[in-house]
Chain A
Amino acid sequence: MVIRVAAVGDIHMGPDSQGLLRPAFETLPDCADLLLLAGDLTRHGTPEEARVVAREVRGLPVPVVAVLGNHDHHDERPETVTSILREAGVRVLEGEGTVVECAGGKVGIAGTKGFGGGFVGRSAGEFGEPVMKEFVRTTRRSADSLHAALKGLDEEGCAARVALTHFSPVADTLAGEPPEIHPFLGSYLLAEAIDTAGADLAVHGHAHMGAEHGMTAGGVRVRNVAQPVIRRAFNVYRLGAA
């Protein structure tokens, strides 16, 4: 049995982009069982921009599952962005999981925005000034919630599990970005959560100049689906279900 996962991130919608993605999204039932949105759905996280996204995906014939990105937090109203998207039928995840019933079996998606800190040997530590400790703790809390959500999906008997984040769990998919900014693009804590809880695929965005393909140390495939990277309305990954 096969589960077909469509995904895109970093669509950065504003009033001038209404309708740009809808024609491609309407073809989703031909090639995918669900659509994942990997954050940065808006430019500034305003309700107006969130309503553009909501109209773009409302009523699609496949389930839509999303996490928010840093842009969606800029206006400091992520709860409002979330509620506007949920009202349009989008399952918005932050530290939680959801199950989608597909023809190929149950697929579980665990989602969190994630945060930065960097990668093994070149990462920020939970030490020193309060703001520095809080920076790393924010990532750790996000990673812990991702781990718990993936574990929960395992107990629900999902045929496949996907980790959905905005920030990257690995440096592989940041290739093309200046190495100096890698600590602002992701954290190994997310990959550790994925590897220790188990997943069949990890999907993220955020790194516009990165690369699509990567893998965690534990062998989980990672895909950076930022729209500037995949250069399409979405990409489709076919998972062989157990």
Chain B
Amino acid sequence: MSDPVGHQGPAASGPASAGGSPEAPENAEYRVAHLQERLAAEELGELGVRAEFRAGAVAVTGTVPSARCRETVLRLAREELAGLTVHTDVVVAETDRPDHAEELW
């Protein structure tokens, strides 16, 4: 699943610095780091969501324990990465019982 949470290109948040990454607009790397800090520090305590630059956008991926957690991840990504193109692939952990066992002998 992919939910674009922002459609503005990198130019919307200012020109890339001369020495910066060709993919990331100025200071965008730090904003990604701040997103991960907020995911861990705020109500989620979430360390299992990854955010990284892919093809000029930020890809936010991972598995979270509930639908509410997923909504919170998407909200924090919108807030922290406003103006950047963000693609999310955040899924809720599956809770079905297994349909078979693994034999170990």
Chain A residues close to B by CB (< 8 Å)? 4, 10-14, 16-17, 20-21, 23-24, 27, 31, 43-44, 71, 74, 200-201, 208-209, 221, 223, 227-228, 230-240
Bound CA–CA A86/B103 (angstroms): 30
Cα(A228)–Cα(B61), bound, Å: 12
| Interface size, chain B (Cβ < 8 Å) | 26
Q: How close is B89's CB to chain A, nearest CB, in angstroms?
A: 12
**A227 to B48 Cα, complex, angstroms:** 11
Q: Which 3 A-B pairs have the closest CB atoms?
A: A240-B105, A228-B63, A208-B48
The answer to whether A227 and B93 have CB atoms under 8 Å apart is: yes
Interface: B104 (CB within 8 A): yes
- Is B2 in the interface zone, CB < 8 Å from A? no
Query: What is the predominant secondary structure among interface residues of chain B facing chain A?
Result: loop
Task: Write the chain B residue with the least CB distance to A18.
Answer: B66
User: Which candidate, B6-14, B19-27, B74-82, B94-102, is the interface stretch facing chain A?
Assistant: B94-102
Cα-based distance from A21 to B98 in the complex (angstroms)? 12
Question: In angstroms, how far is the closest chain A Cβ from the Cβ of B68?
Answer: 4
A232 touches B96 (CB 8 A): yes
